[in-house]
Amino acid sequence: MKVLYAFFALLIFTYQTFGQSDKSFEFESFEVCIRAVYAFMQDFEDAKGLSEIEKQGKALASEFINNLNNEDSISLKQQEFEEILTNNGWGENGKKLYQKLLAERDKEIESGQNILRMLSNSKNQASANNEFGKNIISYSHWNALNEEFGDVEQIEAKKVQDTPISNEEPLSKIEEKKNEPLSILIWFGIAVLTLILGVIIGVFLAKARFSEDLKLAKANPQIRKKLKSLETEKVRLLQRISTLESEKNELERRSFDLNADKQKRNEAKTESKASLEIEKQKTTDSDAPNIPDQDSNQNTISLYFQYPEINGSFQKNHGAPIMGNNSYFEIVYKEDHSEGELKFVADRNFYGKILSIRDTSLGPVSEIENLGGVDRPSNISVLENGIVEVKEDRFVIKEGHKLKIKIS
């Protein structure tokens, strides 16, 4: 019901706004102004006749009135009618009267909106414009315009007057704006509001009917049984989902344990192989003749590191001479050289761990290609080894020579 009240209130407001606005009186009073000037032209013609140019102006005024439309711009039409008077023999008598009518009209728009008072206050100007004096013009057409708008005294005076002397057909009366039909715009607005109201009512009715049907359905034993069965099936499916989630977590845990065992075995094999190499080297060295090494300072040294420092350097005392399970980077250098080579040597099984913290594990010493192109990278490809500067206690990435890698 509140929606209905709001709808009818909106209709009343729309009618009052568009059907009875000040714009209606503005147009009506302007039309009366130009009709009053035309009535003066008719009375003037009855008294003394008109010149050819004045007849032409009178004809143009009549045509202007017949073509006037309430959708026209009043300000433009005011100027257009004044130009008709000025250019067609009515620049004195007609124009002065017209200006007086417009002035009285403006007063009525601001205060009373009384057309009869507007005409009455302007009649003296019409009389003064008659060069033959007040008694020559009968004012029959002027008085007829007053009678049309309901002046009681003028209606009585008009009854005793003779029929106005004029061969022209009288202009059609102006329809009362307050009683005219609603405009097309108002009807369109009403139609739209009616449609919206119909949709709202339809939704409410459909919702009410659905609720009622649902109540009736729940009251049916067979439907209640079916709903209970569906609820049971829902619980069973949720339990199944929970079981599958547990199985998935268990499989992931086992896979992780298997990878860890594999890494330990690989590490043990690597250490065993390194030990054999060392023993073999010792045996070879002991059997070799004791000849002074002329190039002992040229021996290549390898140190292995897990992560770089945040500033992109590697502390020498953190390096391991043997590659282990956590050896991700290798630095190869010679003691008497100021530069060395940086390599990425991590086992593939640790790629996931390294990539998960790539900003700190790779970023300080690497230029990473395709950094933002892969959501979940799993592979690391070395494009170019890096170069480090050998300092007393650390290795520092040489400017512009970071390790170049690609992730995918």
Phi, psi of 382 (to 5 degrees): -85, 120
Residue carrying structure tokens 């003394």: 48
> What pLDDT shows up at residue 254?
84
> What pLDDT shows up at residue 181?
53
Please check whether residue 380 is in contact with residue 405, taking contact to mean a CB–CB distance below 8 angstroms: yes
> What pLDDT shows up at residue 136?
54
> What pLDDT shows up at residue 12?
53
Q: What residues are paired with 29 via a beta bridge? A: none
Output the tens digit of pLDDT for each of the chain's 408 residues: 555 555 555 555 554 444 444 457 888 888 899 999 999 999 888 887 899 999 999 999 999 999 998 788 888 898 999 999 999 999 887 898 999 899 988 888 888 788 888 888 888 777 766 555 454 567 888 888 888 876 444 444 444 454 444 444 444 444 444 445 556 878 888 989 999 999 999 898 988 888 887 888 777 888 888 888 898 999 889 988 988 988 888 888 888 878 877 887 788 777 777 777 777 666 555 554 454 444 444 689 999 999 999 999 999 999 999 999 889 999 999 988 999 999 999 999 999 999 999 889 999 999 998 877 777 888 999 999 999 999 989 999 999 999 999 998
> What pLDDT shows up at residue 154?
46
> What pLDDT shows up at residue 166?
43
What is residue 204's three-state secondary structure? helix
What is residue 330's three-state secondary structure? strand
User: For residues 127 and 253, what is the distance between their CA atoms, to the nearest angstrom?
Assistant: 113
Handedness of CA 115, 145, 72, 59 (dihedral sign): negative
Strands (E), 312-385: 313-315, 329-334, 339-344, 366-369, 380-384
**Looking at the chain, how many residues does it have?**
408
Q: Report the C-alpha dihedral over residues 282, 288, 291, 296, rounded to 10 degrees.
A: -40
Hey, what are 153's tokens?
A: 């005294």
Model-level pTM greater than 0.95?
no
> What pLDDT shows up at residue 152?
41
> What pLDDT shows up at residue 35?
93
Q: How far is CA 183 from its chain centroid?
A: 33
